[in-house]
A = this chain, B = another copy of it.
Amino acid sequence: MTADTPDPFDPERSVGYLTKRVYQLARIGLEPVFADEEVTHVQWSALMALHHGVGGTAAELARHLCHDTGATTRIVDTLEERGLIERCRCTEDRRVVRLSLTEAGREVTARCKVKVIEQWNEWLADWSPQEVERFVGDLLRLRNKLETVA
């Protein structure tokens, strides 16, 4: 490729670029919500995972957050310090640490969640339910493909 033969490929029409951009912009757009509750984006992700039954152990949480286990340990540390989750050494397999939300954790999660859903509803206000449904279906299809590869 040289300077005089411009590249016809358009990132603006590519799945890779657009998903990245959507993720980034949504992340930034949600910052005020998390700032209100004094949690970070990843902390919220961890809380949500626990709330929905994923991440009952630190290793599972790490896989879910796409973080390494070291980083996850530290996230769990701070969430525990803040009294939002509890660690509990598992009795059957004493390697694993079971994680669970405290009452305070459940409250923060619930409050954040309401606001996040609200924000997304606003962003998708001019989409019909069918359009959203179809879009979610496509995302799910792609997600499943990427999961199997990894």
Residues of A within 8 A of B (CB): 1-3, 7, 9-30, 45, 48, 51-52, 66, 106, 110, 113, 116-117, 120, 123-124, 126-127, 131-132, 134-136, 138-143, 145-147, 149-150
Contact flag A25-B66 (CB < 8 Å), given A113-B9, A139-B19:
yes
* Copies, count: 2
CA distance A106 to B20 in the complex (A): 22
CB-nearest residue of chain B to A132: B15
Give 9 A-B contacts (CB < 8 Å), ordered by A residue. A7-B52, A11-B52, A15-B132, A19-B26, A20-B26, A23-B23, A26-B146, A127-B141, A135-B138
Contact flag A22-B142 (CB < 8 Å), given A66-B28, A132-B15, A150-B28:
yes
Report whether B19 and A19 are in contact in the complex, using a CB–CB cutoff of 8 Å. yes
16 extra interchain contacts, Cβ-Cβ under 8 A, other than A18-B139, A22-B23, A124-B142?
Answer: A1-B106, A7-B51, A7-B52, A9-B117, A14-B120, A15-B124, A16-B116, A18-B140, A19-B22, A19-B26, A20-B27, A22-B139, A29-B146, A29-B150, A123-B146, A131-B138
| Min CB gap A17→B, angstroms | 8
